Structure 1
Amino acid sequence: MNNKVLIVAVHPDDETLGCGGTLLKHKANGDSIHWLICTETTPSNDFFKTREKEIEQVSNMYIFDSTHHLGLKTMQVDEYTMSELISKISKIVNDIQPNIIYLPFKGDVHSDHRKIFETAYSCTKSFRYPFIKKIYMMETLSETEFAPGTKEDSFIPNVFVDISDFMERKIEIMKIYASEIAEHPFPRSEKNIRALGTLRGATAGCEYAESFVLLKEIA
C-alpha cells in the first residue's frame, strides 16, 4: 500500500527547505503528497500576487495531490487561540487522512513554527486520528539552527533520507522563492542548503540526505 503524506509548512518554502528531497522521493515511489500552507501575506500586499504565482509553480513542480491554505497572518500566529488553530488543522488532517505527517521542529526560533507545531501535534492523537502512523519533525534552515543551544531545544535527528537523486530538483524548486534565497552566508543560500545536505549525507553514508526526528511510529 502506498503512503499518504502530509507536510505542514508554516510558511511557503518550509516544505522545500525541510523535506523537499524527501517529498520528491515519496512522489517517485508512488506515494500521494499533500501540502498544508499555514500562513500568507496580506492579500492587499503586492507581494501576495507574486507569492501566489510561486506557490502554483512549486505545487506543479512537486505534483502535489492537494494543496491547502489556512490563511493565517504570517508572523502573527500567536494571536489565534489554540482552539481556533486546532479546529482549522484538524479539519484538513481528517480530510486527507495521512499515514505520514511532517511537522516543524518544536524548538524553532520563529514563534509561528512553535505555535503550529504545538497545534498540529495536538491533531495526531491516535484515538482521534488512527490513520496517522508516523510523525516526524523536520529542520528548516534559518529557523532550526537558531534555536537556543540547550539540550531541550537542540535538533537531534534519528532518521535520515537519502535524497542524492533529488537534490538538484530541490534547489531548482527553492529558487522559485526568489525573495527567500540569497548568497552565502545568508542561511537560505544554495551553498548552505547543499552544505546541510552534505553533512546529513555524511552521517547517512550517501551524497545528500535530509534528516528528521521521529516522534512516533505505530507499526
Structure 2
Amino acid sequence: MSQNFNELQKKRRSIYVIGKNVAVNKQEIVELVKNVVRESPSSFNSQSSRVVVLFGDDHEKLWNIALDELRKIVPADAFAATEQKVNGSFKAGFGTVLFFEDQDVVKGLQEKFPTYADNFPVWSEQASGMAQYAVWLALAEKEIGATVQHYNPLIDQAVASTWGIPASWKLRSQMPFGSIEAPAQAKTYMDDDARFKVFLG
C-alpha cells in the first residue's frame, strides 16, 4: 500500500525491540541503502557520506566491540543493564548500518573554498543527518525497525581496525535494524505555537 510522505514520517520511529525476522533479503537492503544515500543531498554535491552495512557475524561483532569498550567505563554494578540493552535492542537485530563522513572531502572543500572553511564541517554533519534520516525512512517503508545510536568515538578505533576503515572516515552513528518485535511508545508533540512562526506577508 502506497504511503504519502507524512504518513511515512509518522511510521519512522525508534524501535528498541528488534529481531532477525526480516522478510527483505540482505542484497535488497544493501541496494536500498546505496540508492538512498546516493540520492541524499550534500553541500556542493560533496557526497561526503560513507556507509558500511553489517550482517550476521559482522553485525554481532560490532555490538560485542561496543560491549567490550563499555565494560571499560561503565561501573561493574551497572554493567548488567548496559549489556541487556545492547544485546536486546541492538545485537538482537538483523544488521547494522554504520554512517561515516569522509574528512578528506571536508578538508578538500575547505582548501578549495576558504571563504566557507568554517562551514564545511557543519555542512558535512548535516549531510550525514539527512542520509541517516533517509535510510531510516526507507527501512520503515519496508516494515523494518531501527534506531540511531552514537557509540562513537568509543568504538572508532576497534571498528576501523576490524573492518579496514580508511583513516579519513569519521564514524558518526550506528543504525541497528531488524524486525519490529514490539511497537514504539506513543510520541508526544510540543505545541505548534512554541515551535513555529509563520508570516504570510
Choose between structure 1 and 2: higher strand proportion.
Answer: 1
Choose between structure 1 and 2: higher helix proportion.
Answer: 2
Smaller-chain TM-score bracket: under 0.3
Greater Rg, structure 1 or structure 2?
2
Give the TM-score of the pair, scaled to structure 1: 0.26
Give the TM-score of the pair, scaled to structure 2: 0.28
Question: Quick one: higher RCO (CA 8 Å, sep 6+), 1 or 2?
Answer: 2
